[in-house]
Amino acid sequence: MRDDAHPELKDLARDLNAEFPALSPLKRLVRLRAVTPGPLVFTTSLGIEDQMITHLIFKHDIKIDVVTLDTGRLFPETYDLWRQTEEKYGKRIHAKYPKGDKLEELIDEQGIDGFYYAKEFRLNCCGVRKIEPLGRALDGANGWVTGLRADQSANRQDMDFVGFDSVRGLIKANPVFDMSREAIAEFTADNGVPVNALHDKGFLSIGCAPCTRAIGPGEPERAGRWWWEDDTKRECGLHVPDRHEVSEGAGI
């Protein structure tokens, strides 16, 4: 995408980033919807912060599409929570799935659990199961809402409340960016928001079942993701700019 594309959205992202610190998460979502033209999409992993955002969107009927990426390797508890959330709010969480032919190619090339053997293989798997479906989820949207928080990892502390995703050409808003996990847990408990049963078992950041473990005392929140890798900046690529482009092959 050209650097001068979507100047109006870039200006809007800058203005919203200046406004967000003084607003509550609900007011941030309302303001984002009020001033952003076109579709907005919230992608949820059904983690505790995402459940708070889903609650705010559904309860207050904010016109933001709620979408999850079903990789096909999620925990049973995550599917249970998905159903419980739809039942509670009477609204649908839409799903995007990996393309079948690309998934078959991936497994033929590197095996069913090839991600354990090389970081390249793990990124390939994330590319097919998450990055490419995310592209379809955001197709046509002008804004993307996420549950990113500054205290999740050192890699996320320098992100903005609202930025412009120059690769995808849209606004990216993080309405709970400045909230602690403890504050979000208090909110979900006080408001009867369903949360993943795995959180009480030490699974603080929950992704695909083979790639997530419970964390121990003193470990950072995302230490349980891709724990076999030495790299401290462990990301699937959804929120890393140089991982946005997905090839037509088995990976990215």
Residue 108 lies in a domain: yes
* Separation of first and last alpha carbons in the chain: 18
- We report the CATH number of the domain holding residue 107 as 3.40.50.620
- Note down the domain range covering 128: 7-194
Residue 88 domain flag: yes
Q: With helix as H, strand as E and coil as C, how does 181-224 read?
A: HHHHHHHHHHCCCCCCHHHHHCCCCCCEHHHECCCCCCCCHHHH
pLDDT band at 242 (very low <50, low <70, confident <90, very high): very low
Looking at the DSSP bridge assignments, the partners of residue 170 are 165
> Mean of the per-residue pLDDT values for the chain?
90
**230 domain-assigned:** no
Tell me the per-residue pLDDT of 167-226, one tens digit each, with 9 for 90 and over. Answer: 999 999 999 999 999 999 999 999 999 999 999 999 999 999 999 999 999 898 889 999
Domain-located, residue 83:
yes
Q: How far is CA 28 from CA 11, 16, 102, 223, 238, in A?
A: 17, 9, 37, 29, 22
**Catalytic site residue 236?**
yes
Annotated catalytic residue: which of 162, 184, 236, 246? 236
As annotated, the binding site includes: 125-126, 208, 211
Q: Is residue 252 part of a domain?
A: no
- For the segment 119-137, the average pLDDT, to the nearest whole number, is 97
Write out the binding residues for [4Fe-4S] cluster.
125-126, 208, 211
- Based on the structure, what is the number of domains in the chain? 1
243 has pLDDT over 70: no
150: pLDDT confidence band, cut at 50, 70 and 90? confident
Angle at 119 between CA 116 and CA 120, to 5 degrees: 115
